Structure 1
Amino acid sequence: MTVSQRPLRSVLYIPGSKPRALEKARSLPADAIIFDLEDAVAPDEKSTARSTLAQALSDGGYGARMKIVRINDLGTEWGAEDARAVLSMGADAVLLPKVNGPAELDALAEITGDLPLWAMMETPAGMLRAAEIAAHPLSQGMVMGTNDLAKDMGTRFRADRMPLMTGLGLCLLAAKAQGLAIIDGVYNAFRDADGLAAECAQGRDMGFDGKTLIHPAQLDVANAAFSPSEEEVDLARRQIAAYDEALTNGQAVAVVDGRIVENLHVATARETLAKMDAIAALNAG
């Protein structure tokens, strides 16, 4: 299954230094886990976190969840050692923070070889070079770092995230142009389920594949928001049936609920049903 086909509705950050959190993550309904060696790990725990995470991934038990390891920036004293360690962890991908351009992915690839690369998109420079970053031959996904981006831009908090829209849009366009996965930034108020649901709905409307999360309490909201609804599944099935009937009758266009259905709508409908099948398979795994 390619990254564009697998569910990535909920992408949960887990500190690589916390054995209890690493154990709990094995039973959580997350589509993917970012095992964090960067922000969630104190400087004096970096080395221990590396070995703790390596042991947890070696022990396994994470099922079909995608396993992504976020390392420290290669410009830090820990980054290169993190990158070397990831090679033997059995991770699905490595996530590099604060990517400003493709040269940083080149530097990482010199260490990690052909391991798929994900980029944290969290700086103004990164926004302006998003297309180049997405086009890197080993790029597989992008993760929005909206907290850092807001800090660097000096924005005020707004529930509609209007100050961040240009950056979010640039990264979305870059990722979609290259067929990459792209995951929306975190929602900080983890006890505010209504606020999270609203931001997830906004992200889904924009085209994000899922949401990065900082607490297990956020999982159900994100999974629901980024799953096709019953109404969307029903419409998809009816669109496909109507279009197939139209083709049988020598027509290239059908009508469903008073709206035109062409081949592009059917392609979207088939993607909706395929996503539901992939979610069902993940839940059964």
Structure 2
Amino acid sequence: MNAVRDPSATMPLRLVRTLLFVPASRPRAIEKARSLDCDFIILDLEDSVLPEDRDQARQNAVDAVKAGFDGRPCAIRINAEGRSDHGLDMVAVRAAMPPYVIVPKVIEARQAHDVHLVTQRQIIAMIESPVGLVNAQRIAREPGVVALLAGTNDMRRGLGVPPDAPRSAISLALQSIVLAARAAGVAAFDGVYNNLEDPEGLAQECEEGRHIGFDGKSIIHPSHIAIANGSFSPSGPAVEQAKAIIEAFTGGAQRYDGRMIESMHVAEAKAILERAERLRG
């Protein structure tokens, strides 16, 4: 079995493009995840697991983390505070010692603090409610929190947004999560796309998330991996444009390809090249 790597040795969170939720009650799905091209595995003990299956799911999650995912980062999503499984899930996290623990339905920083204190793991806090959105900046600054993850399904319900409303109806909420994450210097991940047979819709939502500023996207099905990975990777034209800007820049503010560029644009271009290089590596 592969040893679980220290979080500092795994892929930096800002480079993670796809976070795949895998029900921890399904050993075959866990095994399949090892062969998939997602960047991050989330072993789920919460909504995807029936209550009667949670004891076995906890043991499966512990075993899976100890076996490892070929060096890729992983997390266990525990049940929220107030649910009967919350404490037992944290015991499982302590036994498994994954790099990260995902805490759902976080509405105040104290909840992230408590889970971090008990598990001694880095926290990815899910923001899923109006109160969580209002407190997102405090949550993101809590020691131990390394990322925010948008829980868009519960968010829509909590905000009173109809299921058939366009994604623009929650754009302010999504931007608030990115703003909180950036102000705190942590990663930010977009919520899942529910339709399993709409690749065009998924691609559009991934592009929207990237434009808002998310680092990557959480997903619920293997068929979503390639599209999300592609959306959150620098494209060939973007890489070539970045190289051209760096090569053309001579200092100060100057005209390039019909627009003005300065050192800020060179820094952006270098960041694109670095991301492309690290993702290839």
TM-score (norm 2): 0.93
Among residues 92, 103, 108, which one is paired with 2:99 in the alignment? 92
Among residues 180, 184, 198, which one is paired with 2:186 in the alignment? 180
2:176 aligned residue: 170
Query: Is contact 2:13-2:187 (8 Å) kept?
Result: no
Shift of residue 3, structure 1, vs aligned partner: 6.7
- The 3-state SS of whatever aligns with 1:87 is helix
Q: Provide the rounded CA distance (Å) in 2 between the counterparts of 1:182 and 1:198.
A: 18
2:147 aligned residue: 141
Shift of residue 98, structure 1, vs aligned partner: 0.2
Q: Provide the rounded CA distance (Å) in 2 between the counterparts of 1:204 and 1:158.
A: 22
Structure 2, unpaired ranges of 5+? 1-7
Q: Provide the rounded CA distance (Å) in 1 between the counterparts of 2:74 and 2:144.
A: 17
- The 3-state SS of whatever aligns with 1:201 is helix
2:115 aligned residue: 108
Among residues 39, 43, 61, which one is paired with 2:51 in the alignment? 43
Query: Is contact 1:3-1:140 (8 Å) kept?
Result: no
Q: Report Cα offsets for 1:118-155 as digits up to 9, x if no partner.
A: 10110110000010001101110111100001111221
Q: Provide the rounded CA distance (Å) in 2 between the counterparts of 1:26 and 1:155.
A: 36
Query: Is contact 1:6-1:278 (8 Å) kept?
Result: no
Shift of residue 231, structure 1, vs aligned partner: 1.0
Q: Report Cα offsets for 1:166-216 as digits up to 9, x if no partner.
A: 211111100011121111011100110000001111111111111111100
1:191 aligned residue: 197
Q: Provide the rounded CA distance (Å) in 1 between the counterparts of 2:174 and 2:125.
A: 14
Q: Provide the rounded CA distance (Å) in 2 between the counterparts of 1:162 and 1:205.
A: 13
Q: Which moved more, 1:190-199 or 1:81-90?
A: 81-90
After superposition, the Cα gap between the structure-2 partners of 1:11 and 1:5, relative to the gap in structure 1 and judged at 3 Å, is closer
2:16 is the alignment partner of 1:8: yes
2:274 aligned residue: 274
Query: Is contact 1:38-1:70 (8 Å) kept?
Result: yes
2:89 is the alignment partner of 1:82: yes
1:70 aligned residue: 77
2:233 aligned residue: 227
Report the residue type matching 2:229 in the other structure.
N
Q: Report Cα offsets for 1:231-285 as digits up to 9, x if no partner.
A: 1101111111122xx1xxxx4234321222211111111111111111111xxxx
Q: Which moved more, 1:85-94 or 1:225-234?
A: 85-94
After superposition, the Cα gap between the structure-2 partners of 1:275 and 1:64, relative to the gap in structure 1 and judged at 3 Å, is farther
Shift of residue 159, structure 1, vs aligned partner: 6.3
Q: RMSD across aligned C-alpha pairs, in angstroms?
A: 1.6
Query: Is contact 2:21-2:43 (8 Å) kept?
Result: yes
Query: Is contact 2:24-2:58 (8 Å) kept?
Result: yes
2:4 aligned residue: none
Report the residue type matching 1:17 in the other structure.
S
TM-score (norm 1): 0.91
Shift of residue 5, structure 1, vs aligned partner: 6.1
Q: Provide the rounded CA distance (Å) in 2 between the counterparts of 1:193 and 1:41.
A: 26
2:242 is the alignment partner of 1:236: yes
